Amino acid sequence: MVSISVITPTARDDYSILGQPRLHYLDPTMKSLAKQSFKDFELVIVDALHGSRDYDFSGLPFPVKHVPVHPGHSFWLDRKRWGVCASLNTGIINSEGELVVRIDDCSEFDSGYLERCWEKYLDGVFLLGMHIRYHSGKPARVNKEYLEEGYESKYSETFEPVERAEFLKRLYGDGGLVRDSRFPLVEASGGQMTAFRNWMYGYSSFSLDAALKVNGFDENFDGDKSIEDQDFGNRLWIAGYRDMFLLDVNHTVIEHEHKPIPDNIITHDLKPIKCNYALYLINERRGRCRANVDDLTEEDYSFVVKESLKPPCSPQPSFYEDDCAGELFRLWKDRRPNFNLREERLEV
């Protein structure tokens, strides 16, 4: 047993950090973990490229579990669509720590990162990390270089080029740092604040017991990628973990901007299946804390379709595949993920 399990889901090409073509994308994260002052932890890296990854984990000063996505959870990844919840649930299945800390790849952080997570956990708090973006090895700012080469400018699938530039300037300020959208409010609150129930993003910590109580991440969200982590935090709140999410401006991760997941893993030019915000609303309004247990009802499916086809879920006509009326939506509807992570942990 260990105190902390670090879960890192990944699916990237080896050299995918923008502006640093000779830097392996796992190196910053592994080096940061190796220098942690808190030593009682393991790394569970859930890798969609597990069969072909040749990264050498053997010399690291902490135990590593390098595992593929669990075969019972790989439905959408097998079809080259997003399976974020499946990867995170695989991490939970393989974790032995009392506290889980999610850390994404292409990241680096200071030596006290895990120690702060553990100390706050002992105080009854789940510490949430924020990020600042780095491009070409330096802090990313909304400038000419970033608008030409930055991740949000170059690879965003939401905005047209002119609109994207104006959006980034409004979001971060002309010349402003590209960083976590929560940072200004936390800074204005004196540097620390209790996060809202839907503010659990990546780089969050939570107890393993809490994750099992809500039965992990809701795999109804898979097939597409958005707000699955916010839904997880919201369901933790429904389950009774209230006023426990803490944000601190000094608990920050450097996230190196990177290329998208390769097309042989995720096909990027496909339309989304449905709006995940509709699923978030269903779980919230019905007070559902446990995911992956009860099937959605016909009323729920009708609500998903209705919400998907109108703003804010639908920014333009025909945004979703076959307007949520075709074969892909029926495939998602028939998927009906039902499992018990506690039982699957015993099997592993």
Residue 191 above 80 pLDDT? yes
Global confidence as pTM = 0.96
Burial of 319 (0-12, 13-18, 19+ CB in 10 A): middle
Ranges 101-115, 213-227, 259-273: which has the least confidence: 259-273
Beta strands in the chain (DSSP E): 4-10, 41-47, 64-67, 99-102, 107-108, 126-135, 138-139, 192-194, 205-207, 245-256
Q: What is the residue-averaged pLDDT of the chain?
A: 95
pLDDT band at 162 (very low <50, low <70, confident <90, very high): low
Left, alpha or beta for 322 (phi > 0: left; psi -120 to 50: alpha)? Answer: left
Residue 33 above 60 pLDDT? yes
Residue 151 above 70 pLDDT? yes
Q: Where are the alpha helices (DSSP H) in 127-219?
A: 144-149, 151-154, 161-172, 183-188, 208-213
pLDDT of 323: 96
pLDDT in tens, 222-256: 999 999 999 999 999 999 999 999 999 999 999 99
For residues 108 and 250, give the distance between their C-alpha atoms in angstroms, rounded to a whole number. 14
pLDDT band at 153 (very low <50, low <70, confident <90, very high): confident
pLDDT in tens, 88-111: 999 999 999 999 999 999 999 999
State the sign of the Cα–Cα–Cα–Cα dihedral 198, 293, 216, 327: negative
pLDDT band at 159 (very low <50, low <70, confident <90, very high): very low
Give the residue-averaged pLDDT of 253-276: 94
Q: Indicate the angle between helix axes 228-238 and 276-285, nearest 10 degrees.
A: 0
**1-123+192-242+263-348 topology per CATH:** Spore Coat Polysaccharide Biosynthesis Protein SpsA; Chain A (3.90.550)
At residue 215, φ and ψ (nearest 5 deg) are 60, 40
pLDDT band at 164 (very low <50, low <70, confident <90, very high): confident
For residues 167 and 309, give the distance between their C-alpha atoms in angstroms, rounded to a whole number. 23
Domain locations along the chain: 1-123+192-242+263-348
